[in-house]
A and B are shown apart, each in its own frame.
Chain A
Amino acid sequence: MEEGWCLSVINIKLIGLTKRFGTITAVDNINLDIERGELFTILGPTGAGKTTTLKLIAGLLKPDEGEIYFDGQLVNDVPPEERDVGFVFQGYALFPHMTVWENVTYGPLVRGMDPEKVERIGREILSKVHLLERADSYPRELSGGMQQRVALARALASGSKLLLLDEPLSALDARLREELRFELRNIVKETGATAIQVTHDKYEALQLSDRIAILRKGKVVQVDTPMNLFTKPNSIFVANFICDMNFFEGIVKKVSGEGAIIELRGGPLVKTLDRTHRVGERVVVAVRFEDVEIKPGETKRPYAIYGKVERISFLGPFIRIEVLLDNGEEVSVKLPATIGYKFELGDRVTTFLKPTKIIVYSYPRAGLAEELIVE
């Protein structure tokens, strides 16, 4: 499509947004700037306040404190039906007495869009969600996955200036979800609308979004592009949530021009390029599963840690190997399946944490375990 069919594209500003339910603060002083036409994702575990935030933006809930601006205009007191928002929920609410075609074209027609344009958009969106040939079906004749796609198509066709997507894919089968994930970004981008998506699935967030906000207990802990979040998570919580990450406790032994040496529990040493911590400081060493080298047998090399293969999980393109290290800790390694297949349960192995990939965090006050809780 040469231009988006969204009538006007807006930016969203949230200032000090707070919402309490009884004694629970579901949304705690959230500040966010979402740009025009941006596909923005709010990612976090269950109960982090993601859906509440979305409902506040839609006007389905009233904030206790804070302001919501659409294009610089305060909308706190604007009722939901006047906010011009397209909403896709996890449960799909379609008009049961209307066909797929009628469901999808209802919004733009009511809005007074030129019927020829509606026809074109309707056909295009339905073919994008692979449902053009089911245009004359009624919702009850469709599978759950198809109904969810109709709901999506309806929101996308609506021409609303803001799309709010609450776990739009999570009611679908895993395989279909994966397939639609690749399509969803395309379709949303083509409408030109600003879109805010809520999910607890990191892959969905990483693959789809321009930017991601990570929410924890009602607070935004980091906002960034997918790549920056993945490569530079600012906290143990974010690292744990967005990467497949190993964590070890350690003490900084030596800091020099080229990096630092950290002693893990039980004595093994690791080397890192990170020099920001003092000698003697208690730290957490973080390294992604895919940034751990693993070799069969015991090979002598500096900073190697030896262990035994304890578990092997086949993931398709990858194999995940869990190694019980000789210091009693576990390390997970993710390898392309074509390399990983040569390891077997019980094998002695040499592991090596890549110095360039290690991230070092100060030891958290509440303890490491507390930072790793995701529920």
Chain B
Amino acid sequence: MSAVAEHTIEHVHRDDIGSRLGMWLFLFTELVLFGGMFLVYAVYRFMYQHEFHVAAKELSASVGALNTIILLTSSLTIVLAIVAIRKNNKFLAVFFELMTMLLAFGFLVNKFFEWKIKIHHGIFPGSEILLAKGNGEVIFFGLYYVMTGLHALHVVIGMLLIEVMAGFTIKGRINSTNYVRLEAAGLYWHLVDIIWIFLFPLFYLIT
């Protein structure tokens, strides 16, 4: 047969440990990526201590806390989805995957209104109101938009990823004997969660 499948290996070769290792390595790169921004935050917090203190008061801790609760719950639901698929309960697995997506969406809605109100008050990069406030506050809100924005982008990517996983679960490509993809998506989702766990105190709680 001349039609040797483009990659027989792909079909024969299955290595769950390898896949998990690959995912962990990818998460390292994500951590370093955000690490770079935390470094920038640390430097400017040190440089502009007072202005960071003042600027942080503008953010609502309760809105941040609500989002923290939402994200933590979504981390639980994705774990429950994995447990369900291990026990071969397809319906419950799909249910929890959809729950996770729903919570992620709730997080984004909350974030959207938070940003919208800020922008409405004239606090956004380049606005005259913000520029009048002094360098430290400009940088605080610059960091706020960049860091929470990039985090929100990760939430969106995570949502799409979990949507694909839900599709796989329905089709049976993710099942009780082969669920490494869902695990990988779960790991990614926990990363999104843990980054928020650091963003929340740095922007909302330390005033």
Answer whether A and B are interacting partners.
no
Residues of B within 8 A of A (CB): none
Name A's B-contacting residues (CB within 8 A): none
